[in-house]
Structure 1
Amino acid sequence: MNALLDRVAMRRLSLIHAPAGFGKSTLAAQWVAELERRGSQVVWFSLDSDDNHTLWFLSHLLECLQRAHPELDQSVFQILEERPEDAERHVIPLIINVVNNAPSRCVVVLDDWHVIDDSRTRDVLARLLEVSGDKLGFLVTSRSTSGLPLTSLRVHDQVVEVAPEILRFDERESRQFLVDVKGLSLSGMELTELHTTTEGWIAALQLTSLSLKENSDVTALIGNLASRQHGISDYLAENVLDLLDPKLRRFLLLTSVLTRINAELATLLTGEANAEQRLEQVLYGDLFLQRLDDSGVWFRYHHLFGDFLKQRLKRDYPDKVGELHSLAAHWFHDQGMLSPAVDHAILAGEDAFAADVVEEQSLQLVEHSQMATLLALVAKLPDSELRVRPWLQLAIA
């Protein structure tokens, strides 16, 4: 990996691609620390489905770049509102100019690129990679290679690729992880069988360590894993969840509806006054919770574990799913966070409230020349709500 890192410091694109649970973001974070030590400026951009809207992608990208290049002032953002149809034609040259005049190289981490399927947004990254030069690089994590101009980058030797076979642990690394790091007492044969069954899949090894921490019946666990051709992660996650304290398990399930979690929001959804301590317990218990900011205010569950928690929530608390989304929608609305407020309202089945959120802010967004933001929010709403809201139709006309 260190040899690869030498190339990462020079190439326009570094791509870490593998299915969920292979440690892509963890490796990226390790590389970020080393790149910063070598003098590069690094900014981290965690993508979500909203970034399929090209103007929001550009806006979020600019917000990240501003941390390294404050000279990218509000006038650049104004272009997004004034020229929504072709904003990238004007914004990309400004980004390149600022980066090229900086004393050090800038690397942008795009985490979870696989959520981007919009062709225009993909074209923006392709154009940035084409004209980036020596001062701008991208470190991308993704479950696939879709939407990236790999052919041309390979021809010009401007891409570093880390594939699943590189990320898989070999047997020695599996032993180091389970025995040296996690402190499990395992025989050589047990280690070999666990490594063979999990195929060095990091998430499965982590779930295995959590399972064996509470229940040391290694033989039974290996037997259950070996009997499953598919669904190993679901089996292990189920096993881990069932071994947890019931109150902690309930906390995990009720907060799983959130794509981003903080203590106040967790308290609202769970009724637990000590939500901040709970989040720390989950984080330091290695239960697949990740920090989203340096201050430790916002968190998210690892996608693989989060998806499992949501499935389990529907099974154990089917009547609470809508209520939880509703609580989240109203909380985000009160905080002025319009996009997640609309998303949760729709998931709660409260289409009218989702439209109310957009409608009540529409005039202010128009007055502040934030038409791109308004149009992106309107695009989330069902047609049935738009048809009965003449003011909203007028605002976007």
Structure 2
Amino acid sequence: MHEQNAVLIRAKLNTPTVTQKIIKREKVLEKLQRVIDYKLTLITAPAGSGKTTAAVSYLTEAGLPFAWLSLDESDNDPVRFWRYILASMRGVGSLSEAFWDVPVSLELIRSNIQADMVLDKLFMLPGDTVMVLDDYHLIDNEIIQSSLAYFIKYLPAHFRMMILSRKEPDLKVIREWMSGRVCKLGGRDLSFDLREIAEFFKVKGYPLTPEEISAIWNYTEGWAAGLVLAVLSMGEEDDAHAAISRFSGKNRHINQIFQDEVFDHWPDGVKDFLVRIAFLDKFCGPLCEAVTGFTDSAEYLKKLSESNSFIVNLDQEDEWFRFHHLFSDFLQQRLAKEDPTLRRELYRRAGEWYRENGLIREAIQAFIKADAYQQAFPLLVRIYLSMAQDGDYDDWLKWMDNIPPEYYEGEVRTCTGYSWLASMKNRTHDAQIWADKAQSCFERIKDGLAVGEKDYLEANVLVAKANLAFFEMDVEQVISYSKQAGRLELSRSIIIGEMNSGEVSLLKTAYGFKGRLKKVDQLGVLLVEGLPRLIGNFSAYLTVGLAECHYERNHLQTASQILNQGMENIIELGNPGAIVPSMITLAKIKRAAGDIEGALRTIDMGRRKLAGKSKTFWNYYL
């Protein structure tokens, strides 16, 4: 029996073996250089993050004497814990003889006399030494926590404690850190960066392309175990590099480690909670409560975060979180096995919470996934203008493609809106289909409309047709449809949206007929004959296009006059796609006239007008 215990002790006191085929992680080692300056070092990160490897690599390279203790759940007994502490110290050369005669009892531990006895021995010994406690997250005994906190508080200057854990230790221990006397490393400190990932796979015999390195980082977020399992998966495939594109939380190796090391450690209630919020891209306590019905959702999130259960904090207040990408895949596999009715209900609840809290885009996505189109469609109509103005076409079009026809077949403006945005994505065939839908819709409902509303909706259809004519380079049709619309009685102008998705010059867009200056010239009549009344400040795009046309012909004075006369509308509209080309053209006119300072002031004004705009790439043009 004594011999068996001795074997057990030796196994727990052995320093874990680190493979020779490992890269040297300079950034981690640099951070660990601070260990010597602190009584306590805390390395807290999820399973498989490389905590043990980092500690062994640092201590070995630094040449510091150290004692190692790998803990398990059976060490929650205070007497057993402190016997192992003493046994680990006996394995260090300078400490080997000092601790054989130290007795251990529960009474001594409770009264902190046990810690005092060990401290007294340490004070009499020379030289720097580090004591490492690995897997400390398995210790939850309050007597142990209290006695260890006391021990750390009074450690001599030459003795340091290093704790490796999947979660933050008891507050009594980390109180030292809160007062600035602890060196702390977390999961982000241990995560591999792009350079390290490249080197890691090269050492393993798989040199990767930059695109593959980025893909691996996106999947794993630099998680060490994820990288190891990716290598393992590549070795099992005939085409190792093709395996990268298939790597996810559904991988059987990843699945197994999440199952064994994370998921199975939680009680059934927490498991249900995790699965039911698996579809959320990010989450907070109130949202999770609305989705799951668990009133203690915020407490669940707190515990999961503190235990480093692959939940990532998104703010300093610890209110919003997200799952690690691979863990999200793992959980969504389990959600996919649930009854479809339950999944739809979870999405619907999320949609309701998003809508009530003003998160309209998130609400639309959730309602669509819940097949709750009656709730999704009004939100799509509501958000159209802001998305069209921001040039944010893709999501709106994608969402509309999911809405059944019965929800929009009586909505002329929805159909013209789709046609407009589709044209901005150069989907002219789809734009024509939806313009035709708008026409058919108008024909069905026009007899029941009041005169003002009838004219307004008819004008929307005509403007949609004029828009398509731009993309077909048919200036006669543009003018014809615009004039027809201009003859209608309109109480308000037609809302369009951003007409320039990223060109520095309007002449490069369909609305500048791709630089066909003669066609642009013909549009000048529209500025005189009512286009501003028809589409309001959106006529500013035509103003800029005409000015650019005159600039290209070296009619600098005419171009300047057009811009100066239209500048109020351009600024009031506030769309970057009009502001940037106008400011650049005006600046070029000033530069051509020798007014360099005036040109620079114009560019500076353009930058100020772009402040707060969502599409930041426009700033690079100025």
Using structure 2 for the length normalisation, give the TM-score.
Answer: 0.35
Quick check: 1:75 aligned with 2:101? yes
State the AA in 2 paired with 1:27. Answer: A
1:25-69 Cα deviation digits (max 9, x unpaired): 00010122134x2xx421001111111000000000001112231
Q: Do 2:237 and 2:243's aligned partners in 1 also have CA atoms closer than 8 Å?
A: no
Give the CA deviation at 1:201.
1.0
Q: Do 2:40 and 2:181's aligned partners in 1 also have CA atoms closer than 8 Å?
A: yes
Give the CA deviation at 1:85.
2.8
Q: How does 1:40-51 map to 2 (within 5 A)?
A: 40-51=64-75
Partner residue in 2 for 1:291 = none
Q: Do 2:145 and 2:173's aligned partners in 1 also have CA atoms closer than 8 Å?
A: no
Q: Do 1:207 and 1:236's aligned partners in 2 also have CA atoms closer than 8 Å?
A: no
Q: Do 1:204 and 1:236's aligned partners in 2 also have CA atoms closer than 8 Å?
A: no
Distance 1:119 1:102 in 2: 29
1:348-377 Cα deviation digits (max 9, x unpaired): xxxxxxxxxxxxxxxxxxxxxxxxxxxxxx
Distance 2:258 2:167 in 1: 24
Distance 2:212 2:178 in 1: 45
Partner residue in 1 for 2:208 = 186
Aligned residue for 1:138, secondary structure, equals: strand
Aligned residue for 1:109, secondary structure, equals: strand
Give the CA deviation at 1:229.
7.5
Partner residue in 2 for 1:19 = 46
Q: Do 2:44 and 2:186's aligned partners in 1 also have CA atoms closer than 8 Å?
A: yes
State the AA in 1 paired with 2:54. Answer: L
Give the CA deviation at 1:73.
4.2
Give the CA deviation at 1:122.
1.1
Percent identical pairs in the alignment equals 28
1:66-125 Cα deviation digits (max 9, x unpaired): 223134344313xx2xx4333353221121111111110221000000010111111121
Give the CA deviation at 1:199.
1.3
Partner residue in 2 for 1:258 = none
Aligned residue for 1:86, secondary structure, equals: helix
Quick check: 1:108 aligned with 2:131? yes
Partner residue in 1 for 2:56 = 29
Aligned residue for 2:86, secondary structure, equals: helix
Q: Do 2:230 and 2:247's aligned partners in 1 also have CA atoms closer than 8 Å?
A: no
Q: Do 2:90 and 2:100's aligned partners in 1 also have CA atoms closer than 8 Å?
A: no
Q: Judging changes above 3 Å, is the alpha-carbon distance between structure 1 residues 230 and 221 closer, same or farther for their aligned structure 2 residues?
A: closer
Distance 2:244 2:175 in 1: 45
Give the CA deviation at 1:150.
5.1
Distance 1:155 1:15 in 2: 12
Q: Judging changes above 3 Å, is the alpha-carbon distance between structure 1 residues 103 and 197 closer, same or farther for their aligned structure 2 residues?
A: same
Partner residue in 2 for 1:213 = 235
Q: Do 2:145 and 2:172's aligned partners in 1 also have CA atoms closer than 8 Å?
A: no
Aligned residue for 2:91, secondary structure, equals: helix
Distance 1:235 1:43 in 2: 32
State the AA in 2 paired with 1:9. Answer: I
| 33, 42, 64: which one aligns with 1:6 | 33
Partner residue in 2 for 1:120 = 143
Q: How does 1:320-335 map to 2 (within 5 A)?
A: none
Partner residue in 2 for 1:64 = 88
List gaps (5 residues or longer) in structure 2. 1-27, 260-622
Q: Judging changes above 3 Å, is the alpha-carbon distance between structure 1 residues 218 and 191 closer, same or farther for their aligned structure 2 residues?
A: farther
Distance 1:146 1:236 in 2: 23
Q: How does 1:318-357 map to 2 (within 5 A)?
A: none
Partner residue in 2 for 1:261 = none
1:326-356 Cα deviation digits (max 9, x unpaired): xxxxxxxxxxxxxxxxxxxxxxxxxxxxxxx
Q: Do 2:44 and 2:164's aligned partners in 1 also have CA atoms closer than 8 Å?
A: yes
Larger Rg computed on CA atoms: 2
Aligned residue for 1:169, secondary structure, equals: coil
Aligned residue for 1:14, secondary structure, equals: strand
Q: Do 2:198 and 2:207's aligned partners in 1 also have CA atoms closer than 8 Å?
A: no
Q: Do 1:99 and 1:105's aligned partners in 2 also have CA atoms closer than 8 Å?
A: no
Partner residue in 1 for 2:167 = 144
Partner residue in 1 for 2:311 = none
Partner residue in 1 for 2:440 = none
Distance 1:126 1:160 in 2: 16
Q: Do 2:109 and 2:147's aligned partners in 1 also have CA atoms closer than 8 Å?
A: no
Q: Do 2:99 and 2:121's aligned partners in 1 also have CA atoms closer than 8 Å?
A: no
Distance 1:23 1:15 in 2: 14
- Deviating beyond 4 angstroms after TM superposition, the runs of 4 or more aligned structure 1 residues are 228-232, 235-238
Q: How does 1:1-397 map to 2 (within 5 A)?
A: 1-35=28-62, 37=63, 40-68=64-92, 69-77=95-103, 80=104, 83-87=105-109, 89-149=112-172, 151-179=174-202, 181-218=203-240, 220-226=242-248, 228=249, 233-234=254-255
Distance 2:31 2:195 in 1: 20
Q: Do 2:129 and 2:158's aligned partners in 1 also have CA atoms closer than 8 Å?
A: yes
State the AA in 2 paired with 1:112. Answer: D
Aligned residue for 1:149, secondary structure, equals: helix
Distance 1:220 1:118 in 2: 48
Using structure 1 for the length normalisation, give the TM-score.
Answer: 0.53
Aligned residue for 2:67, secondary structure, equals: strand
1:237-265 Cα deviation digits (max 9, x unpaired): 99xxxxxxxxxxxxxxxxxxxxxxxxxxx
Distance 2:257 2:125 in 1: 48
Distance 1:12 1:93 in 2: 16
Q: Do 1:45 and 1:111's aligned partners in 2 also have CA atoms closer than 8 Å?
A: yes
Between the two structures, name the one with larger relative contact order (CA 8 Å, sep ≥ 6).
Answer: 1
1:193-228 Cα deviation digits (max 9, x unpaired): 1221111111111111122123243465334335x4
Q: Judging changes above 3 Å, is the alpha-carbon distance between structure 1 residues 73 and 125 closer, same or farther for their aligned structure 2 residues?
A: closer
Distance 1:46 1:130 in 2: 22
Q: Judging changes above 3 Å, is the alpha-carbon distance between structure 1 residues 230 and 163 closer, same or farther for their aligned structure 2 residues?
A: farther
Alpha-carbon RMSD across the aligned residues, in angstroms, is 2.5
List gaps (5 residues or longer) in structure 1. 239-397
